[in-house]
Amino acid sequence: MRFSRNAREGCQVTANSSGAPLTTVVVDPRSDEGRAAVRRFYIDIVGRYWGRPATDAEVEQAMLDEPSDDLRGEGGFLLLVQDDARVVGCGGVRFIEPGVGELTRIFVDVTSRGRGAGRILISELESISARRGVHTLRLTVRDDLVEAHQLYQRLGYEKVDPFSTSPYADHHLAKTLSPTAE
């Protein structure tokens, strides 16, 4: 796997089976591309929660109930994963307190799962977070998001005491990040 940084926050990684590069880029969650990626995240998790395709009304309500606008500036960031020009995933980090961030909006399109996109996404979220002074990343995950839970465990996220009372927080995980040089 090869990583190369670009001038914007993000990277290019050659990792998929075809050898085509997957790239990451930080975007504003209020931008068209950021909002579209977060919408796809909600379509996936709302549908999985109900065990059927999510309705537009359910997705819009979820986006209102749990906004992503703070994933920018001092509040955090939103990262997209692209296969050529097509967005295949997203993920964000919300800054909770000094040195602590929370992974959120983690999504990889079903057509890109198993190709390393999730691993690349989490790795870049960790790298950017460490450069921004985060030493601990935490997250919650629901029982039905089995693939995500397995990925987090493979990447070193360990069970911790509950830090959220969300009804969607079946598992609480965290990881200590290695400091990175500027």
pLDDT value, residue 4: 39
The C-alpha atoms of residue 123 and residue 44 are separated, in whole angstroms, by 22
19: pLDDT confidence band, cut at 50, 70 and 90? low
Q: Topology of 2-176 in CATH?
A: Aminopeptidase (3.40.630)
- Please give the residue that has the higher pLDDT: either 2 or 177: 177
Which of 5-19, 100-114, 129-143, 152-166 has the lowest average pLDDT?
Answer: 5-19
In our burial notation (b when 16+ CB lie closer than 10 A, e otherwise), range 7-24 reads eebbbbbebbeeeebbbb
- State yes or no: pLDDT of 25 exceeds 50: yes
The pTM for the full model equals 0.86
